[in-house]
A = this chain, B = another copy of it.
Amino acid sequence: MTTQAMVPSFNDSQLPDVYDAVESEVRSYCRGWPVEMAGASASWLTDTSGRRYLDFFAGAGALNYGHNNPLLKRPLLDYLSRDMIVHSLDLATEAKTAFLETFQRLILAPRGMDYKVQFPGPTGTNAVEAALKLARKVTGRESIINFTNAFHGMTLGSLSVTGNSMKRAGAGIPLVHATPMPYDNYFDGVTEDFHWFERVLDDSGGGLNRPAAVIVETVQGEGGLNVARAEWLRALAELCNRREILLIVDDVQMGCGRTGRFFSFEEAGIKPDIVTLSKSISGYGLPLALTLFRRDLDVWAPGEHNGTFRGNNPAFVTATAALEAYWQDTTFADQTLAKGGLMRDRLDAIATSNPKISARGRGMAQGLKFEDAPTAAKVCRAAFERGVLMETSGPADEVVKLLPPLTTPDAEIVLGIDILAESVASTLS
């Protein structure tokens, strides 16, 4: 959610004074939802006044298994209680061993992915930075292709491949080495999308620096819930393969089951060269990130990329528990697809009532796009007043984005979307 949408909001802020007095103006979510949160459980938050909120935001996708999921909480408390090692840089630890073995056994092996795993630091932007560095090191090229309305992070490397102009301006230096290409459906189907990209790559006089890699999200969450079709992703993967350009899928937000299967690109049947994971990989909201890549790309020298919090063992513990609990088979993925279908049906129902609203999304990343952009923020505000958290996204904050925990019961999904429908109605009336 950018701030344009959220700033002019609640006058009756219930925030303690210390936020205004001490925290930087950069703070953002607490402006749109100006209450002090206390407890959280499954799909519900409780503020310090006792008011409850249905969470259709899920930590921007970091809480796919809900708040304080007991299946993860138990081993976490156990681990911490027993004075097991918490912080370990990249030492071997029991918790890390268990995570690596489980990730290999439940995620990589069944999918035939012969990948190496890097712990690049515990945030999505660390994972993206490591991916870009590796792609450049492997290819000896500097340039990266990104897509319109991409979001990859706030550190300099990640920011250079991010689209949002307000955030780019924050760099304070010209962001170079990245060239945007149109994302799927950017031209509303009129233009074949790879026409330009492939033609200019072909052309020795095209003036495009030959790219090391393409970085892509399968669904652009921050960019407005833009969904790439499976055939577009396949065509992109094939193009990259033909040109010996590495394909990086940034699955930080859409991975870990958000769109159904564990990786959001599985449905398309592609195997990216490099994959980034973060947000819900720990499952409990604890910082953790992975950069995965084809075994033959593992040209890192020992210690060439490092970071203090790579060994966040509580996160390994909850991550392992989450994999064991949800990814032994396809039950959870199937359930997500079903819940996503439920969401979409309900959203379509809202959209069909109004030609200026359309539903969009994939899996349990769903939303409504408003032709009149400011409406979206008003709808979110109305929903918040009714006790549901959902944020806007898209270049003009024109999309109401719904990212409920994947574990949200159907009844609560229906409840939330009913409240959304009310909020839309009250806003437009």
Q: Is A414 in contact with chain B by the CB < 8 A criterion?
A: no
With a 10 A CB-CB cut-off, give which of A84, A156, A207, A286 has the most chain B CB atoms: A207
**Once the chains bind, are A298 and B155 in contact (CB under 8 Å)?**
no
A/B interface sample: 29 pairs, CB < 8 A: A2-B303, A21-B104, A26-B118, A26-B298, A27-B90, A37-B91, A48-B94, A67-B85, A67-B86, A86-B285, A126-B155, A129-B154, A132-B156, A133-B171, A149-B205, A150-B207, A153-B307, A155-B155, A156-B160, A166-B301, A166-B303, A167-B306, A174-B177, A174-B209, A176-B176, A176-B177, A178-B207, A205-B224, A285-B312
**Of A39-47, A260-268, A416-424, the one touching chain B:** A39-47
| Besides A26-B303, A67-B87, 12 new A-B residue pairs in contact (Cβ under 8 A), listed by A number | A22-B103, A24-B291, A77-B80, A120-B154, A124-B307, A132-B172, A136-B172, A153-B307, A178-B207, A180-B206, A204-B395, A287-B287
Encode contact with B along A144-168: 1 for CB under 8 Å, 0 otherwise: 0011111001111110111111111
Encode contact with B along A280-304: 1 for CB under 8 Å, 0 otherwise: 0000111100010100001111111
**Once the chains bind, are A177 and B170 in contact (CB under 8 Å)?**
no
Q: Is A196 in contact with chain B by the CB < 8 A criterion?
A: yes
Q: Is A352 in contact with chain B by the CB < 8 A criterion?
A: no
Q: Which residues of B contact A81 (CB under 8 A)?
A: 77
Q: Which residues of B contact A351 (CB under 8 A)?
A: none
**Once the chains bind, are B117 and A3 in contact (CB under 8 Å)?**
no
- Among B27, B34, B174, point to the contact of A142 (Cβ < 8 A): B174
**Given known A18-B101, A200-B148, contact A125–B155 (CB-CB < 8 A):** yes
Q: How far is the CB of A264 from chain B (nearest CB, A)?
A: 17
**Once the chains bind, are A87 and B73 in contact (CB under 8 Å)?**
no
Question: Within the oligomer, what is the number of copies of this chain?
Answer: 4
Interface size for chain A: under 10, 10 to 19, 20 to 34, or 35 or more residues? 35 or more
**Once the chains bind, are A146 and B104 in contact (CB under 8 Å)?**
no
Kindly report which residue of chain B lies nearest to residue A180, judged by CB atoms: B207
- Interfacial residues of chain A within 232-272, with CB under 8 A of chain B in the complex: 252
User: What is the bound-complex CA distance between A195 and B160, given in angstroms?
Assistant: 24
**Once the chains bind, are A94 and B205 in contact (CB under 8 Å)?**
no
Q: Which residues of B contact A62 (CB under 8 A)?
A: 87, 308-309
With a 10 A CB-CB cut-off, give which of A133, A172, A179, A180 has the most chain B CB atoms: A172
**Once the chains bind, are A22 and B173 in contact (CB under 8 Å)?**
no
**Once the chains bind, are A84 and B155 in contact (CB under 8 Å)?**
no
Q: Which residues of B contact A187 (CB under 8 A)?
A: 195-196, 199
**Once the chains bind, are A285 and B87 in contact (CB under 8 Å)?**
yes
**Once the chains bind, are A207 and B97 in contact (CB under 8 Å)?**
no
Kindly report which residue of chain B lies nearest to residue A153, judged by CB atoms: B307
**Once the chains bind, are A286 and B303 in contact (CB under 8 Å)?**
no
